Amino acid sequence: MLEVSNLYKNFSDKRVLKGIDFTVTSGQITGLVGKNGSGKTTIFHSILNFVGFEGQITFNGKKVTEQDYPQIGYLPEERSLMPKLTVFEQVRFLSNLKGISTKEVQRRLDVWLKKLQVKGKPDDKIKSLSKGNQQKIQLICTLLHEPQLIILDEPFSGLDPLNTDLLKNIILDEKKRGATIIFSDHDMTNVEEICDDLIMINDGKVVLNGNIQTVRNSFGLTRLFVKSSWTESQLAELAHVTKVTSTKTGGYRLEIDDENYGAELFKTITKGEYVQTFDQQPPTLNEIFKLKAGEGK
């Protein structure tokens, strides 16, 4: 378990973290989100002791030190591979630092190259690989030593949809292994699909923290998805409907001013007859992000 308590950080006279508190449970995936400059990478660097800070950070009840690095896998936002090395040389160098023998690196590397569908061989130079495959090699360097704490800073950046799904499955496999996982992302769809919990940062403070569905529900079930014989103009005239937009599936998305009127609108729209779709949902994470990230401007 990773615990961050009362975390403050200044750069010169600018305070960038202002009392951050959160917990990441073992065997769970937590998404750390926030707009650019909100402090996400600084939080990661604080956890890793790359920068000084005020407050307390513990992993499994102990302060994180250099002796704990073999238990940690960190994928930085800025890729840092050495282009003149071969794939094997790069992975061996970083894995040896984590206590993995060269023989074991060779065995595990073959498995990971297949698992991540890397288009490249162990003796290929890093610089000969595409950017996407270089990112996969850096991910192998992050995970090959089977870390207990995994920190991923923008792991999906630059990946196409197929490779994004591949990486999501890898992260889910690491969760099954029991690892403590925290990652940052700007795509709320990725966060919503694989995360158990959410931490949202704005202006150096935690503005949302908790189970993703609980966080969404806290904003109210104020979105209705309707597919029926009603027209857009007819739906817009209904009481408590504040906005109507068409969806790509041929239906409509209604925003209402109070979730408690969902049942009333259901009766009005269906009139006791069949409708193809009537679904009441809370706002999406993307909507919530836009709302909360705009606070404090």
Same domain, 235 and 204: no
- Shared-domain flag, residues 142 and 244: no
Mean pLDDT of the chain: 93
Tens of pLDDT, residues 282-295:
999 999 998 887 66
Q: Are 98 and 104 in contact (CB under 8 A)?
A: no
Total structural domains in the chain? 2
Between CA 221 and CA 280 the distance in angstroms is 6
In a domain? residue 295: no
Q: What is the pLDDT of residue 295?
A: 60
Place of tokens 């996400």: 40
Let me know if residue 289 belongs to a domain.
no
3-class DSSP state for residue 101?
Answer: coil
Residue type, 53: F
Q: Are 183 and 152 in contact (CB under 8 A)?
A: yes
Is residue 69 domain-shared with residue 204, that is, in the same domain? yes
Residues 84 and 192 in one domain: yes
Residue 81 lies in a domain: yes
For residue 275, give the CATH number of its domain: 3.30.70
Q: Is residue 293 part of a domain?
A: no
Query: Are 174 and 58 in a shared domain?
Result: yes
Per-residue pLDDT of 113-163, as tens digits, reads 999 999 999 999 999 999 889 999 999 999 999 999 999 999 998 789 999
134 and 248 in a single domain? The answer is no
Q: Which residue has the higher pLDDT, 297 or 171?
A: 171
CA Rg value for the chain: 23
Name 60's Cβ contacts closer than 8 Å, sequence gap at least 6: 1, 148
Domain that holds residue 115: 2-210
User: If 0-12 CB within 10 Å is exposed, 13-18 middle and 19+ buried, where does residue 260 land?
Assistant: exposed
pLDDT band at 211 (very low <50, low <70, confident <90, very high): very high
pLDDT tens profile 253-284 = 999 999 999 999 999 999 989 999 999 999 99
- What's the rounded Cα separation, in Å, for the pair 130 and 139? 14
User: Which of the listed residues 178, 210, 242 is the one where a domain comes to its end?
Assistant: 210
Residue 24: the pLDDT is 96
- Identify the domain boundary among 166, 182, 210: 210
Compute the distance between CA of residue 281 and CA of residue 225 in angstroms, rounded to an integer: 8
In this structure, the answer to whether residues 49 and 157 fall within a common structural domain is: yes
